[in-house]
Chains A and B, each alone.
Chain A
Amino acid sequence: MSTAKAARFAIGDRVRVLDLDKSGHVRIPAYVRGKCGKIVQYCGKYLNPEDLSIGKTSGPAFDLYRVEFTQASLWDEPRNQSQDRLIIEIYDHWLTAA
């Protein structure tokens, strides 16, 4: 039994979403891959949907974060205002420090 490891990122940390070359039940949409954002919430540990979708229910569980992006960093869309944001959940293995 391993002891609970502290989460890698804290609220306010800058992170980049990795562009992992994974197939299957991946829950990280293409539009945030490679993009930089900020951790705004730690959600706890959750089983990885990439594993669950193929019947692997024994774990390991991954830290899940809510990550905030400026809309300007995601889209070239003139109606988005500079203060507009998008928040999405990202599992730890899809994140790196930015």
Chain B
Amino acid sequence: MHNDHENHSHEDHDHQHEDHEALVVEDDAGNLESQIIIDALQDVLISKGLLTAPEVTKEIEKLESPGVHLGAKVVVKAWKDSEYKQRLLSNGKSAIQEIGVAVGEAQIVVVENTDTVHNLITCTLCSCYPRSILGQPPSWYISKAYRARAVREPRKVLSEFGLDLDEDIQLIVHDSNADMRYLVLPMAPDEAAQLDSHDLEALVTRDRLIGVSR
């Protein structure tokens, strides 16, 4: 295994930061260790007739096709339809399925930001994330630094994301450690009634749905 400190010494950096967490291990030629193992496993499974290459491609497509656009669609529907919003807050999964989005998770708990409450989502133990509606999580979400600090010093983490939360606002951190997955429902803009859904969806960023932005 390569752990190339010669080419990547901490002294090269002029800023303070956490120790690196290796997300991938690759050699000098750019081969990913995990990819080599997976390729070998896939070759064996295909040669034994247990799997076909198109099946693998189809599964990858299924994994990669959801994205923030689905979460944005859910949020805008809730902004425009107060009865839908109530259904979404009481049972996230069924309300999301209601608008034609497939939900693979056991349940999606939707938590609402208000003038007096802000919600922040993390998974301290690994990388739990509502992938059916937001796609794959950003790399910082699965970093040990975010996972450890979001529960302990969330206001400091938010300020580093550029959000200086008023001291009077209640901050609720949700640690997504078990079977539920979480989605933040951001506050609707004042002009929500005048804007069309397409324009509103553009306002719903991934970071707002995780709660690192308000």
Instruction: List the interface of chain A (C-beta within 8 A of B).
Output: 27-29, 31, 41, 43-44, 46, 49, 64, 66, 71, 74-75, 77, 79-81, 83-91
A84 to chain B, nearest CB (A): 5
**A27 and B170 in contact (CB under 8 A), knowing A79-B155, A80-B154?**
no
Instruction: List the interface of chain B (C-beta within 8 A of A).
Output: 106-107, 109, 124-125, 151-156, 167, 170-180
Contact A27 B125 (CB under 8 A): yes
What residues of A have a CB within 8 angstroms of the CB of B173 in the complex?
71, 84-87
What residues of B have a CB within 8 angstroms of the CB of A81 in the complex?
155, 167, 170-171
What residues of B have a CB within 8 angstroms of the CB of A88 in the complex?
174-175, 177
Contact A29 B124 (CB under 8 A): yes
26 pairs, A vs B, C-beta closer than 8 Å: A29-B124, A31-B124, A31-B152, A46-B106, A49-B178, A64-B179, A71-B171, A74-B151, A77-B153, A79-B153, A80-B153, A80-B154, A80-B171, A81-B155, A81-B170, A84-B171, A84-B172, A84-B173, A86-B151, A86-B173, A87-B173, A87-B175, A88-B177, A89-B178, A89-B180, A91-B178
CA distance A83 to B171 in the complex (A): 7
Closest 5 CB pairs of A and B: A89-B178, A88-B175, A83-B170, A79-B155, A84-B171
**A27 and B175 in contact (CB under 8 A), knowing A43-B107, A85-B170?**
no
What residues of A have a CB within 8 angstroms of the CB of B151 in the complex?
31, 74-75, 86
Given A66-B109, A89-B176, A90-B178, 20 additional A-B pairs, CB 8 A: A27-B177, A31-B124, A31-B152, A43-B107, A43-B179, A66-B180, A71-B173, A74-B152, A75-B152, A75-B153, A77-B152, A79-B156, A84-B155, A86-B173, A86-B174, A87-B174, A87-B175, A88-B174, A89-B179, A89-B180
A71 to chain B, nearest CB (A): 8
When C-beta atoms are compared, the residue in chain A nearest to B119 turns out to be A87
When C-beta atoms are compared, the residue in chain A nearest to B172 turns out to be A85
CA distance A78 to B152 in the complex (A): 10
What residues of A have a CB within 8 angstroms of the CB of B154 in the complex?
71, 80, 84
What residues of B have a CB within 8 angstroms of the CB of A71 in the complex?
154, 171, 173
Residue among B167, B171, B178 making CB contact with A46, cutoff 8 Å: B178
